[in-house]
């Protein structure tokens, strides 16, 4: 469990699955996390920003702050969900041309646990660059869940329990933190 006030950054990329990311917020809050949503600039068109801001009580961040703006609180953990082909490859390459990627660029070096939930189709998941990116991130200690291979997140299981990738991501984060 997080300490009181610990902040989970949820980085949302530009996938149709971003519409569904609001489901992760109460799951994380129930575990005791304060949730801060960060969207890639392209994800703003996909996510329901007002709903995410209402659920978290915080503005969705999508750009680097101006030099005289206050710093956002430090992340204690990061989940990237949904993680696009584009952002996974850029994260692995160390590119920091969005605020989301800037946070990710530093996270492994700061010892911040990162869990990545790729949402990519079979064609993209099978590409050598993507497979190299996943291997390289894992070698740096980043947890990368298997790509669902398709059409976005699952929702709930037959017994009504949450089996979405978002719930799997929180479980993976718990495992990751236990290993630290
Ligand atoms: C309707 C739509 C759905 C998309 N869904 C995905 C997706 O599930 N996974 C993915 O990797 N890219 C998807 N894309 C492509 C990304 O939006 C595109 O690569 C974008 O540049 C990613 O930007 P980001 O990684 O900065 O969020 C989709 C594009 C559109 C128009």
The CATH number given to whatever domain includes residue 113 is 3.40.50.1950
**Neighbour tally for 102: CB within 10 Å:** 15
Domain membership flag for residue 48: yes
Does ligand 1 come within 6 angstroms of the Cβ of 100?
A: no
Q: Express each pLDDT in 134-162 by its tens digit.
A: 999 999 999 999 875 444 444 444 444 44
Distances in Å between the Cα of 117 and the Cα atoms of 66, 86, 98, 157 are 29, 13, 18, 19
* Cα 150 to ligand 1 centroid, rounded to whole Å: 13
The first and second tokens of residue 126, run together, are: 């099978």
Average pLDDT over residues 109-136: 95
Category of 57 on φ-ψ map: left (φ > 0), alpha (ψ -120 to 50) or beta: left
Domain membership flag for residue 25: yes
Domain membership flag for residue 85: yes
Residue 14 confidence class, pLDDT cut points 50, 70, 90: very high
Domain membership flag for residue 82: yes
* Cα 15 to ligand 1 centroid, rounded to whole Å: 4
Helix axes 99-110, 85-93, angle to 10 degrees: 50
Domain membership flag for residue 78: yes
Residue span of the structural domain in which 29 resides: 7-64+71-179
Domain membership flag for residue 162: yes
Does ligand 1 come within 6 angstroms of the Cβ of 84?
A: yes
Q: Express each pLDDT in 20-76 by its tens digit.
A: 999 999 999 999 999 999 999 999 999 999 999 999 999 999 999 999 999 889 999
Q: Domain tally for the chain?
A: 1
Among residues of the chain, what percentage have pLDDT more than 70?
Answer: 90
The first and second tokens of residue 149, run together, are: 């291979």
Domain membership flag for residue 123: yes
Model pLDDT, residue 178: 75
Domain membership flag for residue 2: no
Q: What element of type H or E holds 155? A: none
Q: Going by CA atoms, what residue is nearest to atom 6 of ligand 1? A: 15
């Amino acid at each position: 469990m997080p300490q009181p006030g610990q902040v989970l950054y949820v980085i949302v990329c530009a996938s149709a699955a971003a519409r569904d990311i609001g489901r992760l917020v109460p799951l994380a809050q129930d575990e005791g996390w304060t949730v801060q949503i960060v969207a890639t600039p392209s994800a703003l068109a996909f996510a329901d920003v007002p709903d995410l801001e209402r659920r978290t009580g915080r503005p969705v961040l999508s750009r680097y702050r101006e030099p005289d703006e206050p710093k956002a609180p430090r992340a204690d953990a990061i989940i990237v969900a949904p993680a696009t082909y584009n952002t996974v490859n850029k994260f692995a390459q160390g590119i920091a041309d969005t605020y989301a990627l800037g946070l990710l660029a530093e996270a492994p070096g700061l010892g911040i646990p990162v869990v990545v939930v790729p949402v990519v189709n079979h064609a993209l998941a099978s590409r050598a660059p993507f497979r190299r990116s996943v291997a390289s991130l894992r070698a740096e200690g980043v947890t990368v869940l298997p790509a669902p291979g398709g059409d976005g997140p699952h929702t709930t299981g037959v017994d009504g329990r949450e089996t979405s990738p978002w719930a799997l991501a929180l479980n993976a984060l718990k495992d990751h933190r236990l290993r630290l």
